[in-house]
Amino acid sequence: MNTSVHESKQQKHAVHIKIDEVQYVLPSNEATGAELRALVPVPGDRDLWLDVHGPKDDILIRPESNYDVKSGSDFYTAPSTINPGGM
C-alpha cells in the first residue's frame, strides 16, 4: 500500500516544462498529447515534438497518446508539412 501512496504523491507534483522556450507548469507528470498541445495552443497545421538531447531522434507528441512528462522537458512546435523549395 505504501507504494501506491508514494506513486500518488509523485503524480501530484508540479512538472515544469518548456514549449517553444515558454515555461509551463503541469499539475501532474501524466498528460495526453492533446493536453500538452492545449497549453500553447498548438495550431492544427503544426506538430508538437519532445526535444531529445543526444543522438536519438526527437519524439512526435501525438494528441491521442499518453505521456509520462519529466520536469525540465523541452518541447517545440514545427510545421506538420514541410515543402522544400515551395512558396
What is the pTM for the complete model shown?
A: 0.77
Work out how many domains the chain is built from and give that number. 1
- Determine, yes or no, domain membership for 57: yes
Would you state the pLDDT for residue 7?
A: 42
- Determine, yes or no, domain membership for 2: no
3 state DSSP class of 15: strand
Contact 59, 67 (CB under 8 A): no
Would you state the pLDDT for residue 8?
A: 41
Between 86 and 44, whose confidence is greater? 44
- Determine, yes or no, domain membership for 10: no
Listed residue (1, 30, 35) closest to 15, CA to CA: 30
d(CA 85, CA 66): 35
Between 71 and 2, whose confidence is greater? 71
Percent above pLDDT 70 for the chain: 80
Q: Over range 41-51, report the average pLDDT.
A: 94
Asked if pLDDT for residue 12 goes beyond 80, the answer is no
